[in-house]
């Protein structure tokens, strides 16, 4: 069975940066996945009235905005295909168009047909809103890829664990990642909130070892620092190639109310992170 990973290529309003391509290709190769890159272009609804016709050519502006999005998507995909050939990554490309207000929903729907979603992370509102929509709307594990050194192999994986349902779902969704790792470190913050089990990290490590994986528990205290910072600091200290964690949040009237840790992670992504809800 072939593993597939979707790369949503956002074209509006903040386009996906081409500098993300090396990291995306490296992660697809590390997952052993066929990469499906999909440019999501915008359709701008024409807004026309007597005043707008007198002051500005709205139809022309709409056509130009749509053409600019298509051009960016085509350029990104062309560069991706060129670099994928050099990297030996099996890549399929395509494009869809969506109304501006539904771009993120379109990305989430498309993601449901793949094993993983790779989100090229950039520090802008578009990247964050797209990631939130996919994480909470697709039902698929989503890997955020900040512009750091590309991950060539998934040998060293950290798991953020608190014994919750969401964390358990993330571990299950990360099976393909965990089975490739030669070292798995279970990170449990012991002084951030009351845990239902004092030995939660040890229990997960034991369970992973029983499945033939190589895991160790690493409970630690935050020393009053933000938990999202402490988790990433510890993951980076142990040289983790990727961190697995559950995404906490609720959907109400189409707005995401994020848990504190998830919100903090999305403010500052410092290593590849697999998020699952």
What values do phi and psi take at 64, rounded to 5?
Answer: -65, -40
Distance between CA atoms of 187 and 232, rounded to whole angstroms?
10
Burial 68-103 (b: 16+ CB within 10 A, else e): ebbebbbebbeebeebbeebebebebebbbbeeeeb
pLDDT of residue 45: 61
pLDDT of residue 262: 76
Distance between CA atoms of 164 and 92, rounded to whole angstroms?
37
pLDDT of residue 54: 55
Domain boundaries, the chain: 3-145, 156-276
Residues in the chain: 277
pTM beyond 0.75: the answer is yes
pLDDT of residue 264: 77
pLDDT tens digits, the chain, 277 residues: what are they?
A: 799 999 999 998 899 999 999 999 999 999 999 999 999 998 876 555 554 555 556 567 677 778 889 999 999 999 999 999 999 999 999 999 998 888 899 999 999 999 999 999 988 899 999 999 999 999 999 999 999 999 999 999 999 998 999 999 999 999 999 999 999 999 998 876 666 677 999 999 999 999 999 999 999 987 767 888 899 999 999 999 999 999 876 454 344 444 567 777 888 899 999 999 8
For the residues of the chain, what is the DSSP string, one character each?
Answer: --EEEEEEEE-SSSPPPGGGHHHHHHHHHHHTEEEEEEEEEEEPPP---HHHHHH--HHHHHHHHHHHHHHHHHHHHHHHHHHHHHHT--EEEEEEEEEGGGHHHHHHHHHTTSSEEEEE--SSHHHHHHHHHHHHHS-S-EEEE-SSS------EEEEE--S-HHHHHHHHHTHHHHTT-SEEEEEEESSSS--S-TTHHHHHHHHHHHTT--EEEEEE--TTS-HHHHHHHHHHHTT-SEEEEE--EEEETTEEEE-HHHHHHHH---S-EEEE-
Instruction: Determine contact, residues 188/217, Cβ cutoff 8 Å.
Output: yes
Distance between CA atoms of 16 and 111, rounded to whole angstroms?
17
CATH of domain 3-145: 3.40.50.620
Query: Quick one: CA dihedral 53, 55, 60, 66, positive or negative?
Result: negative
Distance between CA atoms of 45 and 271, rounded to whole angstroms?
38
pLDDT of residue 248: 73
Question: Strand 3-10 and strand 116-120: pairing?
Answer: parallel
Q: Domain spanning 156-276: which superfamily?
A: HUPs (3.40.50.620)
pLDDT of residue 252: 44
pLDDT of residue 43: 81
pLDDT of residue 49: 56
Distance between CA atoms of 77 and 83, rounded to whole angstroms?
10
For the residues of 11-67, what is the DSSP string, one character each?
Answer: -SSSPPPGGGHHHHHHHHHHHTEEEEEEEEEEEPPP---HHHHHH--HHHHHHHHHH
């Amino acid at each position: 069975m072939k593993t597939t990973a979707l790369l949503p290529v956002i074209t509006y309003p903040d386009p996906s940066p081409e500098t993300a391509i090396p990291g995306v290709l490296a992660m697809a190769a590390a997952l052993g996945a066929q990469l499906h890159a999909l440019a999501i272009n915008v359709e701008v609804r024409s807004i026309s009235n007597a005043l707008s016709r007198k002051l500005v050519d709205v139809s022309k502006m709409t056509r130009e905005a749509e053409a600019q999005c298509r051009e960016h998507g085509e350029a990104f995909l062309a560069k991706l295909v060129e670099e994928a050939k050099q990297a030996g990554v099996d890549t399929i490309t395509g494009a869809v168009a969506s109304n501006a207000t539904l771009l993120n929903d379109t990305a989430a729907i498309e993601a449901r047909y793949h094993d993983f979603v790779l989100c090229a992370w950039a520090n802008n509102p578009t990247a964050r809103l797209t990631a939130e929509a996919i994480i909470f709307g697709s039902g698929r594990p989503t890997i955020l890829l900040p512009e750091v050194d590309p991950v060539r192999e998934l040998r060293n994986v950290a798991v953020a664990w608190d014994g919750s349902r969401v964390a358990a779902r993330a571990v299950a969704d990360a099976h393909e990642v965990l089975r490739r790792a030669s070292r798995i470190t279970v990170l449990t913050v012991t002084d951030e909130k009351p845990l239902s089990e004092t030995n939660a990290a040890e229990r997960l490590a034991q369970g992973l070892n029983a499945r033939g994986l190589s895991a160790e528990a690493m409970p630690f205290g935050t020393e009053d620092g933000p938990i999202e910072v402490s988790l990433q600091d510890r993951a980076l200290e142990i040289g983790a190639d990727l961190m697995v964690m559950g995404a906490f949040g609720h959907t109400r009237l189409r707005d995401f109310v994020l848990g504190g840790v998830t919100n903090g992670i999305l403010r500052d992504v410092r290593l590849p992170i697999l998020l699952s809800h």
